[in-house]
Amino acid sequence: MRTPIIAGNWKMHKTIAEAIALVREMRRELNEIEGVEKVLCPPFTALAAVAELIRTTQIKLGAQDMHWEDQGAFTGAISPLMLKELCQYVIIGHSERRQYFGETDEGVNRKVKAALKHGLTPIICVGENLAQNEAGQTEAIVSAQVRAALQGLTAAQVKSLVIAYEPIWAIGTGKPATGSGANAIIGQVVRGTVSSLFGESAAQALRIQYGGSVSPESIAEFMTQPEIDGALVGGASLSAAKFVAITRIAAQSKQQGAKNRT
Ligand code: 13P
């Protein structure tokens, strides 16, 4: 049984003071929710303050990106060595990084290897855009992204990863994918690709999230699906009430979904 994982990607939101206020507002309730791993991914500047606030809780910390080198002349970049002191997770290859910062599949693969080398768990983002979706290219695009991101890894490494399937047309639009639609891509394409490359036991161990307009209203539809192990939440993770509600409903509906299938 895979432990579900709900992560909040704050993107470029929240000053240090605002981050502290948001974490104080959700910390106690979030910490009390059992059966789900809880991860906050604030911007780099707020990582240290948030790390301190959640130090005595079960809540984990993630960064939103990193460089693949340990150190060097890379002005503006943050290395895995720097993150390792603060974080357990790092989001890699988010569609916004790919779209606005020229991130390539090759760069994603380098970052995944660097994260694993330093004991950080990557949350690798994949997903097709609207034009690709409408052209019927979803399977080919997503499968190629998974293949490229995992190139050169061992099956043991793959088991520890988290992949987030985030269809770009569902991000920030208020229009999430359907539960069954996301389940099909996650099961057949993401897990299927991992299975063909690294074997069924690796594919069954790795956790795969859905992301894109996840809200307290839509989370149950995803969590009751057998292949979906959690969510990467954007906008709704900036509200303490919404993020706590999403996490609570995720924990309940995962159990319910499992019960319904037995
Ligand atoms: P929204 O939840 O705001 O659609 O963002 C999803 C996302 O990109 C999370 O990484």
CA-closest residue to ligand 1 atom 1: 234
Ligand 1 pocket by Cβ (under 6 Å): 9, 94, 166, 171-172, 211-214, 232-236
- Residue 252 predicted with pLDDT over 90: yes
Atom of ligand 1 nearest to the CA of 95: 8
CA of 6 to the centre of ligand 1 (A): 12
pLDDT in tens, 215-246: 999 999 999 999 999 999 999 999 999 999 99
Determine the residue of 95, 125, 213, 246 to mutate for testing ligand 1's pocket, defined as the one with the most ligand atoms within 8 A of the Cβ atom: 213
Please say whether the beta carbons of 16 and 48 come within 8 A.
no
**pLDDT score, position 110:** 98
> Active-site residues: which are they?
94, 166
pLDDT tens track for 48-92:
999 999 999 999 999 999 999 999 999 999 999 999 999 999 999
Nearest-CA residue for atom 5 of ligand 1: 234
The per-residue pLDDT for range 169-205, each reduced to its tens digit, is 999 999 999 999 999 999 999 999 999 999 999 999 9
pLDDT band at 162 (very low <50, low <70, confident <90, very high): very high
- Counting from 1 in the atom list of ligand 1, the atom nearest the Cα of 94 is 10
Instruction: Please report, rounded to a whole number, the percentage of residues in the chain having pLDDT higher than 90.
Output: 96
Crossing angle of helices 138-149 and 105-117, rounded to 10°: 40
> Each residue of 87-125: pLDDT tens digit?
999 999 999 999 999 999 999 999 999 999 999 999 999
Residue from 5, 6, 11, 243 whose mutation best tests the ligand 1 pocket (most atoms within 8 A of CB): 11
Quote the pLDDT of residue 85.
96
Q: How far is the CA of 119 from the centre of ligand 1 (A)?
A: 25
Q: 96 with 11: CB under 8 angstroms?
A: yes
173 CA to centre of ligand 1 in angstroms: 9
Task: Give residue 44's pLDDT.
Answer: 98
pLDDT at residue 256, as a whole number:
84
From 12, 94, 130, 166, the mutation candidate for ligand 1 (largest count of ligand atoms within 8 A of CB) is: 166
Domains of the chain in start order, with CATH, are 5-261 (3.20.20.70)
**Rounded average pLDDT over 44-48:** 98
* pLDDT at site 231: 98
Ligand 1 atom closest to 96 (CA): 8
Residue 41: Cβ-neighbour burial (10 angstroms; 0-12, 13-18, 19+): buried
Distance 185 CA to ligand 1 centre (A): 18
Distance 8 CA to ligand 1 centre (A): 9
Model-wide pTM > 0.75: yes
The rounded distance, in Å, linking the Cα atoms of 229 and 24 is 27
